[in-house]
Amino acid sequence: MCVIVVSPNKKNRPSLETLERCERNNRDGGGVSWLEKGKPTFRKGVDAEFIHDIMQTKSGPVVAHFRIATVGGVKPILCHPFPISPRPSQALQGQSDSVLFHNGTWSEWKGVLDAVLKRGGLKAEGEFSDSRASALVVAVAGRKAIAKMGGKFCVLDSEGAFMFNGGWTKHTDGNWYSNMHWNWASKYTQTKSSYRGSSLFDEACDVLEEDDRLEGQAEKHLSSFSKLGIKPNMKNSMVRRAVERSQGLFSLGETLQKLGVGK
């Protein structure tokens, strides 16, 4: 699971140790964005030390991302963030009016991306992941489309950093994290030889990991049900959430029609 770190100001920055923990548990590439003269500036394919240096030298909001490659290969160009644009750049550094970070998996991205490209008369340029696709879709359909996508998102623009979808945690260091698995995993790795019990925090992390596993199973089952023409069990909360996300695609399609995209 990836992790997004949102640091609102220089008064409370994550320590280098914290950023390195995030990196150790999300090893497929780091990225960071900050405001330079009021405009988001980004660097991708960087490490925790680089991100820490940026956070120490910049006074405004800084957003960092450490990736696990669940969709797309392990490549610097697929590190976050992505410029919110109908043609999101794959450059490893640059500026944009707004950039997007993603933590999670958006399983329906290919169908939505194809629909948006077709309606907008656009072409898919370069390599895509669900996260890069979401940046393109948001550019066309607006930020309200984020509610229909899987996972947590952060958008940085000239007004600041905006977090979307639930489940964010404000840490005691004053910063926001899209999940806390990085902290639990590092703690457990360091103390597993003398581990004797579990705290409430450890148990909560176990519940979150199990929730992620069940949610992934529900999406696979839903896909199998659809192919076989079998009606899913709506009493299963995970299946119901997967169905709701699937139905959200139709809402997004209706939104695109109302906007007249591609006409």
187-224 pLDDT, tens per residue? 444 333 333 333 444 445 545 555 555 566 666 666 66
pLDDT, mean of residues 229-252? 55
CATH number (domain holding residue 115): 3.60.20.10
Q: Specify the number of domains making up the chain.
A: 2
Q: How large is the average pLDDT for residues 27-40?
A: 94
Q: Are residues 161 and 73 in the same domain?
A: yes
pLDDT of residue 199: 44
Q: Which of 169, 186, 203 is the last residue of a domain?
A: 186
Q: Is the dihedral of CA 206, 209, 215, 216 positive or negative?
A: negative
* 179 and 220 part of one domain: no
| Residues 214 and 91 placed together within one structural domain of the fold | no
Same domain? For 164 and 224 the reply is: no
Q: Which residues form the domain of 208?
A: 195-259
162 pLDDT exceeds 60? yes
**Same structural domain, 8 and 56:** yes
What are 65-104's pLDDT values in tens digits?
A: 999 876 656 778 889 999 999 988 889 999 999 999 999 9
Average confidence (pLDDT) over 116-130: 87
Range from 99-108, 119-128, 134-143, 236-245 carrying the lowest mean pLDDT: 236-245
Q: What is the pLDDT of residue 182?
A: 87
